[in-house]
Structure 1
């Protein structure tokens, strides 16, 4: 009697993603790509909507400031809420507010004669959603990645986010030219809706239950204690309060003026910004394979090249030279950004991720509105070239001062001793003894 035919062997289906890229990480990355595709085009669309409504350059600045001011006002509250409530609920609610405000902005532009106060109000609502979203999203991302894969995971996340931002800006510019800014704002509203739906499926079962606290103010005080007792943390946030302010003023105000007056128009400046974006992608690819032992020393040394764009505009360099320094600075800030996130992941307790992230964001963006407002008066008082050299000097000075902090020089990567879905319990900081961005470089997108 013949034996029955052997059952065909089953070969395992090939993995479509790395073992460390779990469901939450995949959903967070996909949602960030969607929102970056929409929001980078929407930033350009908002400026053109103001100009098409008859607004001046000052009006464009007022609308931009209306988006930034809520970040300063609400970031700390957003961080406290994100450590008190389920983070994905905060993220979804913030995305819903972004969706509604951008949809109303789009409808206003498409159907009527938008007034400046209306555009400022709707932009401020969008900024408010971002203020509550950012600390929750950064805390969620940090709690999703295991310690042994943190470097690679953060690098891949940032590469996807920055790549989507470059594509979104290019696509948004083309759509504005073809169909007008209102439709680009409508696409951004739809992107927020899709992202909210993706984030609603995040699994927070791995996050331990929060112990009952003493209220919102007590939570903020606890986050402040966590922040101020870590010299590496507050010193780098102070550094970036200066760096983000002067780099933002140089790129938002002086860059377009130099391009207009000395480089032949806006196209060369747009090309240079594109090279900066390409540099961030190159930096992210590098950080997927490079795991420097001295996390903050390497990261801080990579902040010095952020002085190059201001210096290049002061000369000014020819277009190819400006593109080269923008490429280098983009690569450098991405190396810093991944090392910063890895340090935060390693050193900050999970239940305080969002509050510490909120102090990080708050310190990093607090001086940006003032710096952009003072850029024009500084040019009138000292001259554009001198103001740009001053921006470069401030970046170098602030970064050199941070290197005086022992924790910054000696912070060492600690390899985890076990595998798991949660980061290892943080111990005391070494030697005596972290987000992007766009920030320290912002780690997450709204």
Structure 2
């Protein structure tokens, strides 16, 4: 069986999505510094960043409907082209000498909406390019995870180099160009799909409801989403308070930089590991691994030395790097192709919506009880919810055969219920309680 990168269509997709991910990674640092240079106002910076995040969150469910309704390649192409326009607008504003914060905020609102479409469309792209093979699809998702990890590591550094070399405006020129190249590559990709006929389409509300029912019908899925949301909450508690504690307790920014770099390396290592590991119970193993985020939180709470923090954070992010491709492969194997983007949209919505809660909770808890309490609370929550998913029957029973990419559950075998999921030979077996009727 050939390596995924030897397949022309996947190779084009991989390069295209890597450029798109890297382009997204360039934006936060450049945008933050640009707005601060223009206004010197933290409030206006929060407004501009909030426009992008708010649009992304609000549009995620509808983005899933769009990705499921229309030609997958066209959707990805449109999302990239929209960001070519928005980043060009920002570049022109910054290079004009008289930038308008309102126009920059409007451009980032559109970019956030396009980003939502891109996020929900990625899983359908992979399933429509890769054969129905667990081995290849897991490797493909692992490669996507590696690309994301490298982009997150390289993005801020590349932004800094570009800003020092040519200025912040040109960062957005590079960003728009990268999205343009990504779009050009997507035009060359060939997918195994046909566009749904207009007569088969229903109301957006009905489509959203169908996606929600798909999530609700699977206890392993919705219980894991709760655990993943708590993880995102806990992660943002650490990301909010970690720099402050590093400066006040450990004497400077160097400690925090060491911790975050260890996290980036761990994330990359976990993504690489996921391409080789074959857990028969992928959701159970992934969620238990994710509970390791309690380790760095506990180390921060007790004031552990910097080397321990570095190791602890590296382990925790390695678990995240391992979980993401494993989770994607499992979801792609079980969820029907025609609702996959909508299910992905609920996944992203729950995860991203939990992030601001951690950012808000952290400073409030710090002012009321000191730094130890928020770290301890976050550690307990993430450990209990992630490990607690093992108590859910679907999490324990869901198995994945990577050879045939068949998902088998004991209760399904007893009832004899089975349904093809439309991904080209993948067989998803579920009980009658999980029947697909219109997160």
TM score, norm. by length of structure 2: 0.87
Corresponding residue to 2:157 among 167, 170, 175: 170
Hey, what does 1:372 align to over in structure 2? 359
Residues 239 and 402, structure 1, Cα contact 8 Å, conserved in 2: yes
Any residues of structure 2 matched to 1:345-424 within 5 Å, and which?
Answer: 345-417=332-404, 422-424=423-425
C-alpha separation between the residues in 1 aligned to 2:295 and 2:46? 25
Residues 405 and 426, structure 2, Cα contact 8 Å, conserved in 1: no
Hey, what does 2:427 align to over in structure 1? 426
Any residues of structure 2 matched to 1:223-242 within 5 Å, and which?
Answer: 223-242=211-230
1:241-280 residue CA offsets vs partner (Å, 9 max, x unmatched): 22212312321x2122223323333343233222211112
Which ranges in structure 2 are unaligned for 5 or more consecutive residues?
407-421, 435-439
Residues 30 and 171, structure 2, Cα contact 8 Å, conserved in 1: yes
C-alpha separation between the residues in 2 aligned to 1:61 and 1:314? 28
Aligned-pair CA distance for 1:197: 1.1
Residues 89 and 104, structure 2, Cα contact 8 Å, conserved in 1: no
Hey, what does 1:9 align to over in structure 2? none
C-alpha separation between the residues in 2 aligned to 1:177 and 1:319? 30
C-alpha separation between the residues in 2 aligned to 1:417 and 1:332? 26
Hey, what does 1:159 align to over in structure 2? 146
Q: Comparing both structures, which one devotes a greater share of its residues to helix?
A: 2
CA 1:154–1:187: 2 relative to 1, 3 Å: same
CA 1:32–1:72: 2 relative to 1, 3 Å: same
Residue-pair matches, total: 415
Instruction: Give the RMSD, CA atoms, in angstroms.
Output: 2.6
Which ranges in structure 1 are unaligned for 5 or more consecutive residues?
1-14, 434-446
Any residues of structure 2 matched to 1:58-97 within 5 Å, and which?
Answer: 58-97=43-82
Corresponding residue to 1:46 among 26, 31, 35: 31
Any residues of structure 2 matched to 1:308-327 within 5 Å, and which?
Answer: 308-327=295-314
TM score, norm. by length of structure 1: 0.86
Corresponding residue to 2:292 among 298, 305, 327: 305
Aligned-pair CA distance for 1:231: 0.8
| SS class of match (1:413) | strand
1:98 pairs with 2:83: yes
C-alpha separation between the residues in 2 aligned to 1:330 and 1:19? 25
CA 1:138–1:417: 2 relative to 1, 3 Å: closer
C-alpha separation between the residues in 1 aligned to 2:301 and 2:207? 45
CA 1:99–1:314: 2 relative to 1, 3 Å: farther
| SS class of match (2:202) | coil
C-alpha separation between the residues in 1 aligned to 2:70 and 2:432? 34
Residues 227 and 386, structure 2, Cα contact 8 Å, conserved in 1: yes
Residues 275 and 327, structure 1, Cα contact 8 Å, conserved in 2: yes
C-alpha separation between the residues in 1 aligned to 2:22 and 2:306? 27
Residues 347 and 429, structure 1, Cα contact 8 Å, conserved in 2: no
1:289-330 residue CA offsets vs partner (Å, 9 max, x unmatched): 221111111101111112233333333333332221221112
1:184-226 residue CA offsets vs partner (Å, 9 max, x unmatched): 222111111111111122212x125536132322222221221
* Worse overlay, 156-165 or 131-140: 156-165
1:293 pairs with 2:273: no
C-alpha separation between the residues in 1 aligned to 2:375 and 2:41? 24
C-alpha separation between the residues in 1 aligned to 2:359 and 2:127? 31
